[in-house]
Chains A and B, each alone.
Chain A
Amino acid sequence: METIKLIIDNKEIEVAKGTTVLKAAREYGIEIPTLCYFSIDGMNIENKPGGCRVCVVEIEGRRNLAPACATDCEHGMIIHTHSMRVINARRTVVELILSDHPADCLVCQKAGNCELQDLAQRLGIREIPFKGEHSTYRKDTSPSIVRDVDKCVMCRRCEMMCNEVQTVGALSAINRGFPSVVAPAFEMDLEKSPCTYCGQCVTACPTGALTEVDHTGKVIRALSDPTKTVIVQTAPAVRVALGEEFGTEPGARVTGQMVAALRRLGFNAVFDTDFAADLTIMEEGTELLGRINGFLNGDKSVKLPILTSCCPGWVNFFETNFPDLLDVPSTAKSPQQMFGAVAKTYYADKIGLKREDLVMVSIMPCLAKKYECQRDEFEVNGNPDVDIVLSTRELAALIKQANIDFKNLVGEDFDTPLGESTGAAVIFGVTGGVIEAATRTAYEVFTGTTLKKVDFEELRGMEGVRSAAIDFDGKLMVKIGVAHGLSNARKLLEDVRAGKSQFHAIEVMACPGGCIGGGGQPYSHGNNFEILKRRSAGLYAEDADKKLRKSHENPYIKKLYEEFLGEPGGHKAHELLHTHYFDKSKKEIELD
């Protein structure tokens, strides 16, 4: 490996060729402040437009200061990262940014988690010497995401996530000069753009310009209303991330404390989305086997591969970008919506309540779920199956508001019957998990034999696109594809569109890493690859700890079918647990 020798802050260092000044400095413990720079090492995600000019450094012999993030180290460079010239420039630049920023930190959702606030503190800025006009824009509230673009600092991270990582193309820089800002084309509402509500822009935004729609107030009102019975479901990825908001190590499993906290908050029953994940496997697995059998029997109308449909960001993506393939994905609803549908029928009946008196709250690692629960097809007479969705972050905020000493809570169990689940369900929260869970069940149903080894390591991992062929006991080789991050999903979908796909089934998760990296998870300000790996390990550990690890073995699921649904894929199941998709490629565009 070719190396480069240079001097940074009087320190002689040696780094690999191609290393930027920023990375070289970090390697040697010199922290250069940044704002627009953002990276997730290990996932090949990097944003370095060199736009904010906060990371500027002095390189001897160069006329101007250079951005450390976008300058490669060269032999013999002599660099000063904190000379007075640099400090003056850096402070002035941040003062400029602040001079065009609303000073509403007191009520800003990002206060305490804001990189600009941190930067201002770190640089010791106590007043903003520049007064003048602010660039202002209207606030845009979509079902999931709020754009408060007055707070946009043009770091372009969201644009990079939206265009490069997700290939969604909803956000890009518009206008020029002082009013430049990142927004949907023509400053249209996010709702009218191709946005999938995956929320990756929110995870990347350093300020309060992009945040989730805050629904904690709604939950507080429901919980304080004595006429309502409020129940809650929690998605698998929440339990390995929520603790981070209370100072635990990333990936620490806090399932029991979370259940206890939810009970303290006053929920009448604390259930688990995992129950519905098992249900999803029953439905989706049946559909998969149905299609494979049909295919093997020569039925030409059968669509393969089957695509998973748990992820609402992904559903939005294919409805917008691949409207010609709407009959390819599984018709199974997502676990959240299956849960809501079952809760407001089966469970409401069981406890003798009208659906209107039952408030269904979900705790999700996801922002697209907020939109999903508002879709017209998921309501009955105006009453939605799921009423309110909170992100992991919002739940943490609620717990803090209720003054619950989360870390010292003694773990509690979910309520029955909708709180029981298998290990197959808990891995829904990580990329590859849904298809592994489906494989466990499909294998046993298809072959009629019991799996010797439940773990399918070949489906796990963090590569953006993965594939594996699973031997169904010599009777069939099932070819499986896995993609996470929508740019990766797009590649597989384009193959499907071109008729080149070799897979029987493909699992897609919109967010990098799957739900563990969802748009509603605790902020990690970039470089969360390690965090994702630990959350992933947390989920696999929870799976391994479970007595039951195959969805079809969940006794409460069996009971649900016996008592209520009938057969998987049967009439009633179809009515409650399946859905259909819409062509959203031509959203109505209204320009002001």
Chain B
Amino acid sequence: MANYKMHLLVCGGTGCKASQADEILTNLRQIVEDKGLENEVQVIFTGCFGFCEKGPIVKVLPDNTFYTQVTPEDAREIVEEHIIKGRKVHRLLYEDPTTKEHISDSKHMGFYMKQIRVALRNCGFIDPENIDEYIARDGYGALGKCLTELDPLKTIDIIKQSGLRGRGGGGFPTGLKWEITHKVPGEQKYVVCNADEGDPGAFMDRSILEGDPHTIIEAMAICGYAIGANKGLVYIRAEYPLAIERLKIALDQARDYGLLGKDILGTGFDFEIEIRYGAGAFVCGEETALIHSMEGMRGEPTFKPPFPSVSGYLGKPTCVNNVETFANIPVIINQGAEWFTTIGTEKSRGTKVFALAGQINNVGLIEVPMGITLREVIYEIGGGIKDGKKFKAVQTGGPSGGCLTEKHLDTPIDFDNLLAAGSMMGSGGMIVMDEDSCMIAVSKFYLEFTVEESCGKCSPCRIGNKRLYEMLDEISQGKGTMETLDKLRNLSKVIKDTSLCGLGQTSPNPVLSTIENFWDEYVEHVMEKKCCAGQCKDLMQYFIIEEKCVGCTACVRVCPVNAIAGEKKIPHTIKQDLCIKCGACVEKCKFNAIITK
């Protein structure tokens, strides 16, 4: 019988797994076994720790040592030094970028200090494939409490009191949604978990499902109890194989333990969950499109009303909540609505998970209390801008959101403030941009995504976004005029005003917010035909500074299109009509003689 004294927690999230976490786990286990410690040291996968920038992560319990950027080869040292000799492997500890101090306990890292983990409470703590570990951390206690102590209306009341708002982007009050679905008459109702996370770069929901699948199962059962549904469906994109696998394991375990199925905990409440796979269409995150996709139809939204609460899956009352929303439910039930309201702001209670990305030092998954400022997130948690560059903008809300600037840095993050600032909370994408980012290129990036992901049903979104993209492309090529900017703005407004669903109603936001906040940059592109960030290839030219060029011919040789003329020891020149602006010459030149203008 094992009596573990130490635990090695290896991050088993998709990101770390892509960086050889499997091999790390195998090596650790092998070495532990070789040393005969398999009954004393447990080596397991956990969910995502969040600090993806420094992954793969291995955490040692009970001393809470946080090893970063571990390789499979480091396994031996961790076991032999740390486990056996009790000496921490110094070189694998996190180094604070400012103090250069090594920090062994994650609680003391800037990345974690301001975080409050509610939805992610179990990610990185438990083995997601082991229901006992979930139960050990109060798992299924909330379901038990609801079924035995609370009636459905009281359950709904707690969620209403907590002020929890939907984490999928819209921010609709969750308790109200439950209440509406509860009140709609109907024999058959459904609970749907929206796990069709689709914002570029976002992986909040994936991480929760990978790291703590039982919390979703528990929350869905609670929702089912509250609204009067005995059937739950998880709509998850097929591109999340690990999340699907872990969810399946969790479902089987929950069934084995009698926490799903007939007569749960002997209370007479039945609840079953089925998984439905999405093919990865972004629009299927929109609840009506999601429902149609689950019904086997084309993933297209339909006009609301009727809302899914009234007529959803197969025409039955359906409550659709996002993964992160569900992840909050069991804690709220366990700790009470009042506890939850102590976190966050008055109108946005609780925390929000963000996928922090872009030109920032600490890329990763973070959970912060609502009301925290963008500055705190970017500079304290995120560790500031990479390579000491200047902050330019932060994009929140994914393709539906907007770009905020320096002047918004002290804005407290919550649903309403972000909206007022011209962006939105969205599902939790947060991309930080530095001075080298061109805002036209950023708009183009998002529009390209929207054009690709529009379902094609309504004309403004189907054609309008394409035309927006084409106009942005014109601008980035120096073909835009002031009239283009005018058209861009009018078309953006009309698309927002006339599109059928949330996708089209928000898709011009990246354009409008950058026009609003970076108007000069647009004007520069169309009037001066210049891109100050140097991102718009067509607007820049490479030049060789005669004084600096020694005539080594390195650039001549590396140029793939023979655009550089010059003989040895004579300063070279670039033939602009041939240059494809690949930048190979700049990289090759040892004398910094080649510049862009």
Contact A133–B470 (Cβ < 8 Å): yes
B500 close to A (CB within 8 Å): yes
Contact B467–A65 (Cβ < 8 Å): no
A176 close to B (CB within 8 Å): yes
Q: Beyond A70-B303, A71-B303, A133-B466, is A177–B451 a contact (Cβ under 8 Å)?
A: yes
Q: Beyond A89-B497, A172-B298, A177-B451, is A99–B456 a contact (Cβ under 8 Å)?
A: no
Give CA–CA (A130, B497) in the complex, Å. Answer: 18
Q: Which of B10-18, B487-495, B512-520, B567-575 contacts A (4 or more CB under 8 A)?
A: B487-495
Contact B467–A132 (Cβ < 8 Å): yes
A301 close to B (CB within 8 Å): no
Chain B 460-504: CB-based contact to A (< 8 A → 1; otherwise 0):
101111110010000000000000000100110010111110000
A524 close to B (CB within 8 Å): no
What is the chain A residue whose CB lies nearest that of B466? A178
Shortest CB-to-CB span from A173 to chain B, Å, is: 6
A residues less than 8 Å from B496 (CB atoms):
64
Contact A53–B467 (Cβ < 8 Å): no
Contact A51–B457 (Cβ < 8 Å): yes
Contact A179–B460 (Cβ < 8 Å): no
A447 close to B (CB within 8 Å): no
Contact B451–A53 (Cβ < 8 Å): no
Shortest CB-to-CB span from A338 to chain B, Å, is: 43
A49 close to B (CB within 8 Å): yes
Kindly state the interface size class of chain B when it binds its partner.
20 to 34
Q: Beyond A67-B303, A89-B494, is A177–B455 a contact (Cβ under 8 Å)?
A: yes
Shortest CB-to-CB span from B487 to chain A, Å, is: 6
Give CA–CA (A52, B456) in the complex, Å. Answer: 10
Shortest CB-to-CB span from A280 to chain B, Å, is: 41
Q: Beyond A50-B302, A172-B298, is A96–B467 a contact (Cβ under 8 Å)?
A: yes
Shortest CB-to-CB span from B435 to chain A, Å, is: 31
Give CA–CA (A129, B491) in the complex, Å. Answer: 11
Shortest CB-to-CB span from B405 to chain A, Å, is: 25
Contact B498–A53 (Cβ < 8 Å): yes
B74 close to A (CB within 8 Å): no
Contact B453–A176 (Cβ < 8 Å): yes
Contact B456–A180 (Cβ < 8 Å): yes
A100 close to B (CB within 8 Å): yes
A92 close to B (CB within 8 Å): yes
Give CA–CA (A498, B48) in the complex, Å. Answer: 56
Q: Beyond A50-B303, A172-B298, A173-B298, is A180–B498 a contact (Cβ under 8 Å)?
A: no
Chain A 105-149: CB-based contact to B (< 8 A → 1; otherwise 0):
000000000000000000000000111110000000000000000
Contact B505–A178 (Cβ < 8 Å): no
Give CA–CA (A130, B459) in the complex, Å. Answer: 14
A residues less than 8 Å from B205 (CB atoms):
none
Q: Beyond A92-B494, A173-B300, is A50–B458 a contact (Cβ under 8 Å)?
A: yes
Contact B452–A180 (Cβ < 8 Å): no
B281 close to A (CB within 8 Å): yes
A residues less than 8 Å from B465 (CB atoms):
177-178
Q: Which of B302, B453, B463 contacts A97 (CB 8 A)?
A: B463
Contact B456–A53 (Cβ < 8 Å): no
A residues less than 8 Å from B498 (CB atoms):
53, 56, 64-65, 89, 92-93
Q: Beyond A51-B457, A65-B497, A85-B497, is A178–B463 a contact (Cβ under 8 Å)?
A: yes
Chain A 433-472: CB-based contact to B (< 8 A → 1; otherwise 0):
0000000000000000000000000000000000000000
Q: Which of B459, B460, B494 contacts A88 (CB 8 A)?
A: B494
B residues less than 8 Å from A50 (CB atoms):
302-303, 458, 500
B residues less than 8 Å from A176 (CB atoms):
281, 283, 453-456
A195 close to B (CB within 8 Å): no
**Contacts A/B (CB < 8 Å), 12 sampled:** A51-B459, A67-B500, A89-B498, A99-B463, A130-B467, A132-B467, A133-B466, A133-B470, A173-B456, A177-B451, A177-B454, A180-B462
Top 9 closest pairs, chain A to chain B, by CB = A180-B456, A132-B470, A96-B463, A177-B454, A92-B494, A70-B303, A50-B303, A53-B498, A178-B466
A178-B463, A178-B465 are known; give 7 further A-B pairs, CB within 8 A: A51-B458, A53-B498, A64-B497, A88-B490, A130-B491, A180-B454, A180-B457
